[in-house]
Amino acid sequence: MMRGRDIEIILFYTTTEAAKILRVSTQTVRNYIYSGKIKSYRTPGGHHRVSKDDLQRLGFLKKIEKEAG
């Protein structure tokens, strides 16, 4: 989101945002977190946050699996 000259850099996504980016369900993102495929950080309220780097890595791995399968 741009506000004037400021640029907001997103480093972490919610599970819902991550699911939209990866085109999977939020439950699938949680399954990836619980199985260790992606690392998440918990907010004080107990919600997961996934780093942009982990999403990029997971997206790349999914692309390779699709081409191989």
* pLDDT value at residue 64: 44
Which architecture does CATH list for 9-68?
Orthogonal Bundle (1.10)
Tell me the H-state helices in 1-69: 15-22, 26-35, 52-68
Query: Nearest 5°: CA angle at 31, between 25 and 23?
Result: 25
Which tens digit of pLDDT belongs to each residue from 14-58? 999 988 888 889 999 999 999 998 899 999 999 999 988 888 877
* pLDDT value at residue 47: 95
Nearest CA to 63 out of 12, 20, 22 is that of 22
Q: 10 Å Cβ neighbour count for 69?
A: 5
Residue type, 45: G
Q: pLDDT-derived band of residue 4, with 50, 70 and 90 as boundaries? A: low
Q: 10 Å Cβ neighbour count for 52?
A: 14
